[in-house]
Amino acid sequence: MNITWYGHSAFGIENGDAKILIDPFLTGSPAWDKGWEDVAEGVTHVLLTHGHNDHVGDALDILKKTGAMLVANFEICMWLVGQGVDEGKVNPGNTGGTVECGGFTVSFVRADHSSSFQTGGGANIYLGNPLGLVLHFPDGKSVYHMGDTDIFSDMGLINELHQPQIGLVPIGDRFTMGGAVAALACRRFFKFETAIPCHYGSFPIIDQSADNFVAGMDGSGTDVLTLEPGGSASF
């Protein structure tokens, strides 16, 4: 498995025949200036945690160009179908459900946040509940993208049910957990082999470094991997 961070909460995961993009906010991202076209080459699946603009990102263009499968909550799927995405290529779900994606599964779990898309006129379109996504692969590897969230005690149930090995953890504060609280969540509720922090260092109003998270994870037994945008790691 190879995981690439594209800044903010955007990740690419390649495993077997699957080439997955999660929350592909690339155009307009302060953390990424290389466009979406090369990143989207060969993509088979686009996964979205919730409807905010900085997570939906370039999903519509990527889905239209690649014909990839869209995996998201029902409201996001149907909204993007209305924007021109092929209805036969959407795979909707909601909290507690698991969907088969052809080569891996995605389980939808709780996230404490909000979910809407802001139009050019300033109106907000409701796009269902925010979610975290747990990916399980046939080779036994598992990845939990928390989405945007605060800490919550039911994270313990998520770990009990799914036992994710790799956590993609928002740490930027203001809109999500800050680094110290995110470290507490990882230490108290999970047994990650590797934690990769995200949702920081992009917009100036959120934390610019992972220092608080790294310090909070010291001695946890979890390998904390801080990537630069465009950086990858193999597992």
Q: 3-state class of 148 per DSSP?
A: coil
Rounded to an integer, what distance in angstroms lies between the CA atom of residue 2 and that of residue 235? 6
* Residue 120 pLDDT level (bands cut at 50, 70, 90): confident
Question: Is residue 10 included in any domain, yes or no?
Answer: yes
Q: Exposed (0-12), middle (13-18) or buried (19+): which is 88, by Cβ within 10 Å? A: exposed
Whether pLDDT at 42 is above 90: yes
Per the structure, how many domains does the chain have? 1
Question: Is residue 77 included in any domain, yes or no?
Answer: yes
Question: Is residue 74 included in any domain, yes or no?
Answer: yes
| Predicted pLDDT at 200 | 98
Q: Which domain holds residue 12?
A: 2-228
Rounded to an integer, what distance in angstroms lies between the CA atom of residue 190 and that of residue 131? 18
* Residue 166 pLDDT level (bands cut at 50, 70, 90): very high
What is the pLDDT averaged over residues 183-197? 98
* Residue 192 pLDDT level (bands cut at 50, 70, 90): very high
| Predicted pLDDT at 121 | 85
Question: Is residue 146 included in any domain, yes or no?
Answer: yes
| Predicted pLDDT at 62 | 98
Phi/psi of residue 11, nearest 5 degrees: -130, 150
Task: Provide the greatest CA pair distance for the chain.
Answer: 49
Q: What is the CATH number of the domain that holds 185?
A: 3.60.15.10
Least confident of 102-111, 117-126, 223-232: 117-126
CB 182 within 8 A of CB 213: yes
Question: Is residue 235 included in any domain, yes or no?
Answer: no
| Predicted pLDDT at 122 | 86
Question: Is residue 106 included in any domain, yes or no?
Answer: yes
**What average pLDDT does the structure give for the chain?**
98
pLDDT of 61-93, one tens digit each? Answer: 999 999 999 999 999 999 999 999 999 999 999
Whether pLDDT at 115 is above 90: yes
Q: How far is CA 165 from the centre of its chain?
A: 15
Question: Is residue 159 included in any domain, yes or no?
Answer: yes
Question: Is residue 234 included in any domain, yes or no?
Answer: no
